[in-house]
Structure 1
Amino acid sequence: MAKPKPLMTKSSGRNDDAIQSALRTLDAEGSGVAAIAAALQSDLGAPFTAATDLVRKAKGRLIVTGLGKSGHIGRKVAATFASTGTPAFFVHAAEASHGDLGMITPDDVILALSWSGEQPEMRNLIAYAARFGIPLIAMTADKDSTLSKAADVQLTLPKAREACPHNLAPTTSSLMMLALGDALAIALLEGRGFTSTDFSVLHPGGKLGAMLKYTRDLMHGGDKVPLKPLGTKMSEALVEMSAKGFGCVGIVDARGLIAGIITDGDLRRHMRPDLMTLTVDEVMTRDPKTVGRDTLAGEVVEILNSAKITTLIVTDAKKPVGIIHLHDLLRAGVA
């Protein structure tokens, strides 16, 4: 006998409608981003390259401007540029006419965002750029718009339907401008060889800042590192292991180089009546995983998780210089 189908309540019907609406929105916005990808491989490719070259060669900063939804996107894009090595800030197109034009110098480059390219508030900024010879990059959907015609470089976005069922609320268009702005920022980042070290200088706070700390910033060093030489009796190694409180003890050879490690797991695997009379050579795990003092904290977390361990010996040319525990990373806000 077939099981009866569950009754569809009004609540579940509304939930299904909401999900279908969300899927339509994501499909529409995804189509917009896909259209940019296709355009970059044709007509948009050359101006995109020209825009990156213009910004890269600028002696000053990148000034991102816009208003309305384009302004909100512009603020985010400017923040992304600034955090990835391209000095940038946002100037509201309307406020520019009331004194903020003084923030823009002839050494700067302007990136103006406007879907239509026809906002009247943008005209004074266009005139200012022309008067002082400030390079202007326009990001619009109309190559024949006032803004686009005045620009040195035209980043013309493909036409796309908004996710809004009335084709009115800026949704797909906003995402497309954001995506192209991010693409510019990352192209510049990669072009100048911006590294994770550079990134850490600009992101000292929060979890991201914690992940960009180095092992040397979080490790325990000196006498706090549990170490014993090869040939040590397990009874002595266990005392060292317990005293230092990391649940392990590193084993070094005659040259002081890391040769192995003994963990709680090794003790359980070798549990037998004469365990304490054995030497560490017979119990240790040889060639243990280690990290360097210049390893990023985020990478340490990945190593610990993938190996399913909680502690790593920190080495410099195979010589133990510290130890780092998962708890250190948790306290720092990394994990």
Structure 2
Amino acid sequence: MKLLLVAKPWRGGLADYLYQALTEIVPGSVEWWPTRPVTLGGRLAFARDKKGWYARLWERIDRCAAEAQIFINYPRELPPLAPRKNRILWLTDGPRPRPGELDPFGRVCLSDPGYVGEVKAALAAESFGGEVSFGYCPAVHAPRAPEGRREGACFIGNRDPKRDRYLAALFQAGHFPLVVGNYFLHHPFFWRHPLNFRPAVSNQAMGRIYGRHQLSLNIHAEVVREGTNMRTFECAAYGIAQLVEKRPGLERFFDLERELAVFSEETELVEKLAELLAAPERAKALAHRARQRVLAEHSYYHRAVQLLDGVLPAAVLRGRLQAAMARWSSSQGGSFR
């Protein structure tokens, strides 16, 4: 059986995490064709003739005889593909599809159910595959031993108007979390509090930052309507306590009293941050329970199985999921515990 993954090589790692999971669920049978060039030669060809680069990718996809083609989003630069039942589309990042844009896909899933109206309006009812949320990658998101005494709170994320409001409230109240991302050098906050900002880091380096802190703040970008972003699952796997902005549907993934602490407005964020930093044992308990939950239910192995629903029989998928998790647990001395 051959599977094809068609996806942009995001800095955030989503395509890489799903590719790793798919290769565990269907070993030796998965190819990843990026929708942006990844080699120097490819980048030069892309710069010279972007339209031609996409046309050649379209021809390869159209000729590919894979039993299933899984797309993470669909670049509008790619010419329209012929409709096929074996094409699966996973929409993220606030999708607003145009009429006819989803016709090539036999099944369409989305990470944020807040956009279900826009998606269903552009799709035949039988092709809607429901919600497939983000998850965590076992090879990347694992606890790191602290390097010395743990510091207070940290926030890893990029600039966003809603995040600006919450960060401003924290600074005004005298709380100064470490902020990692493109706020560094590019926002007035940086120039007022330069010691509290760091540039963006690689996905692999995030674990060291979380390992040095007691608490992770997660302020959703404005684009998130329901559910949550990648960071909530990743931090749960890293084993750090979280204070997360509450969005509708977050309770489908975590217990909002026993596994996460949540807030809905600026004053509540300030109060709960102070409470959690003053109660490290409670924070550790939240982190422990959230990690148990994410290990059991929210790996990208689970997401790969969701996306492959209907491609392989349900019993086969369940068996391969259990086998993949068992292999990883064994390789790590029982990490799925």
TM-score range, shorter chain: under 0.3
Structure (1/2) with the larger helix percentage: 1
Larger radius of gyration: 1
TM-score, normalised with respect to structure 1: 0.27
Higher relative contact order (CA 8 A, sep 6+): 2
